[in-house]
Chains A and B, each alone.
Chain A
């Protein structure tokens, strides 16, 4: 374990609230809605609980669809007027659930931030359900009416295909594709035909992994999928001429890779405190503009049973030919076809004493959060540091693209026993929505999900 002096922590985690009432059994994961102030918590009790992030109360319990534990869930992005939730269960199926959003009231509650439901938006399918389910999700919590909750979520379709437990589900950035993965070692990609009849078409089945596929996560903007596995690898998948295939296999972890998450597209590290203001400006603009970084695209963070958290970066293809003339690289050495080269860029300071189950890279602040079997929540911050060797490295890299400024990862805070004696299974960042928030800032909360069924919401003081 790395030695850390708490006095140097740049962040502090403060408990904001528990989600109440909690499940009395293990909860696996909590998925924040892309724009509404709600989350979905998956549990061993075969249900999904939908809670408000405004008052932290239970809004609905979705039950009856899965025969075994619900392991995972993901909200479909970019849809207006309706919320669509995909769930994955140990019963080997994925479920799709729908519910009409409020018309008008959600806007008041949201405090005017971010994308929102559009009042009066017309849907051309399932008109009966729409009429019956128009009640406002947020108004309902105030009136205390909870009896009809189960009817509000419409079970749309069961995606059947995996041979064993579904471990993770993820929607592509456009919301057109859903990826599911399983202990059967396969990843399925389904296309939501959006035809009003809840039809999904199997687009691809990828079976290259040699063990359970624990997690799938789509690139934030491209149709590119990352997967993490019991075979200790991470794999990257893309479509090439109608065929989905593996374009990279990332080796480095020495145990099951439990989770992967992508960097935000606009992410910029903070500057090290030792640097002067003028340096900061130069370095930050270098970070944004260096060709190599721009061509690499968002990085990937992974966590593992080996207790480490690693950051991976794609090597820009243009580096070995392509757009640059006379680089002297023989064609035989250039990546062929769609193959990509990913390199391990950093191992974050190792704090966890047991398996790290989840990692979450904030799209707002760039902070990385990790949680695991040791009951710790750890935050990491990436800092740009002055590179003393920059002159010599420029010379060596003459024919190359300019490198982005060097960064280092530091521990921003460590909280031990965040859920008491219990293991923490998942962490996710969400927009803060309670009444005590500072509306002038785009505040964020961390949501952690534990073995005893508790889900806690934390604020980060930076």
Chain B
């Protein structure tokens, strides 16, 4: 995985141009909410061993009630995943345009059930090159980041953006497989790679 770099010269966006609510803004509702979400995830991200022990602990410790009071929007999701580092480069997924704000969507999971609190977060990933075999690892990193940060009423749907990858279908099927993702969370080697990617998340 680390021997030959697949894309040695990727296009990098200027971080200052990326949409974010992570840095102080004069107005907006972000302040208190940011503290709530990030405070609980920081500890788990910093300590990779936490992943193996209890992958869902951080999500559960975020009380539903707290989060429902302050809705989570696409920008918030972007801020959670854009700071993840690419496994090949010390560059963020946001700067590489692997994730972008227009490719994030939050929708009701059960639209015909009035009052259902369950939401689906769809994140489309654009790999830097069409045959990048690290697409699965990047997708897994995004899924892990969101599952650990969001309350459990969110269903995380991470997919490769159509037409951007040669084996997108295969990667999508793996990323959507709950059982495989759960098993990956208990795989020390893989979680070491993921933890490294998430080190740069604030």
A149 at the interface (CB under 8 A from B): no
Complex Cα distance A372/B170, Å?
Answer: 22
B141 to chain A, nearest CB (A): 20
Chain A residues in 8 Å Cβ range of B173: 230, 256
In the complex the two chains form, what is the Cα distance from A366 to B34 in whole Å?
51
B173 to chain A, nearest CB (A): 7
Query: Which of B54, B55, B112, B186 counts the most A-chain CB atoms under 10 A from its CB?
Result: B186
Given contacts A167-B179, A373-B178, A421-B64, contact A69 B186 (CB under 8 A): yes
A212 CA to B55 CA, complexed, in Å: 23
Set of chain B residues within 8 Å of A214, measured between Cβ atoms: 179
Main secondary structure of the interface of A (DSSP, over half): loop
Does A68 lie at the interface of the complex (its beta carbon under 8 Å from any beta carbon of B)? Answer: yes
Q: Does B117 contact A (CB under 8 A)?
A: yes
In Å, the complex CA distance between A327 and B18 comes to: 74
B186: contacting residue among A90, A353, A451, A452, CB under 8 A: A90
In the complex, chain A residues 122-179 whose Cβ is within 8 Å of any chain B Cβ: 164-165, 167
Q: How far is the CA of A317 from the CA of B6 in the complex (A)?
A: 55
Q: How far is the CA of A44 from the CA of B110 in the complex (A)?
A: 27
Q: Are A421 and B152 in contact (CB under 8 A)?
A: yes
B177 and A256 contact, CB distance less than 8 A: yes
Residue-wise, chain B 50-87 has the 8 Å CB interface mask toward A (1 for contact) of 00001110001000100000000000000000000000
> Is there a chain B Cβ closer than 8 Å to A305's Cβ?
yes
A416 and B116 form a contact (CB under 8 A): yes
B177 A230 Cβ-Cβ under 8 A: yes
Q: Number of A interface residues, CB 8 Å?
A: 32
Interface residue B131 (Cβ < 8 Å from any Cβ of A): no
Q: Please tell me the number of chain B residues within 8 Å of chain A, measured between CB atoms.
A: 24
Contact flag A374-B180 (CB < 8 Å), given A25-B54, A69-B186: no
Contacting residues, chain A, for B183 (C-beta < 8 A): 68-69, 90, 164-165, 183
Q: Are B182 and A44 in contact (CB under 8 A)?
A: yes
Could you tell me if A452 and B177 are in contact, using CB atoms closer than 8 angstroms? no
Which residues of A have CB within 8 Å of B178?
355, 357, 373, 423
Q: Which residue of A lies closest to B112 (CB)?
A: A1
Given A69-B182, A69-B186, A451-B152: A374 and B176 interface contact (C-beta under 8 Å): no
| A100 on interface, CB distance cutoff 8 Å | no
Over the window 141-182 of chain B, the binary record of Cβ atoms lying under 8 Å from chain A Cβ atoms (1 yes, 0 no) is: 000000000001101000000000000000001001111101
> In the bound complex, what is the Cα–Cα distance between A165 and B109 (angstroms)?
30
Please, what's the 1-or-0 string for A9-34, where 1 marks a CB less than 8 Å from any CB in chain B?
00000000000000011100000000
Give B68 Cβ to nearest chain A Cβ, in Å.
10
A25 to B3, CA, bound (A): 37
Residues of A within 8 A of B118 (CB): 374-375, 421
Find the B residue at minimum CB distance from A68: B186
A residues less than 8 Å from B54 (CB atoms): 25
Taking the closest CB of chain B, its distance from the CB of A214, in whole angstroms, is 7
Add 4 more A-B contacts to A90-B183, A451-B152 (CB < 8 A).
A44-B56, A69-B186, A423-B155, A423-B178
Q: List 29 A-B contacts (CB under 8 A).
A: A24-B60, A26-B182, A44-B55, A44-B56, A44-B182, A68-B186, A69-B183, A69-B186, A165-B179, A165-B183, A167-B179, A214-B179, A230-B177, A256-B173, A256-B177, A354-B155, A355-B176, A355-B178, A357-B178, A374-B109, A374-B118, A417-B113, A421-B64, A421-B118, A421-B152, A422-B152, A451-B152, A452-B60, A452-B152
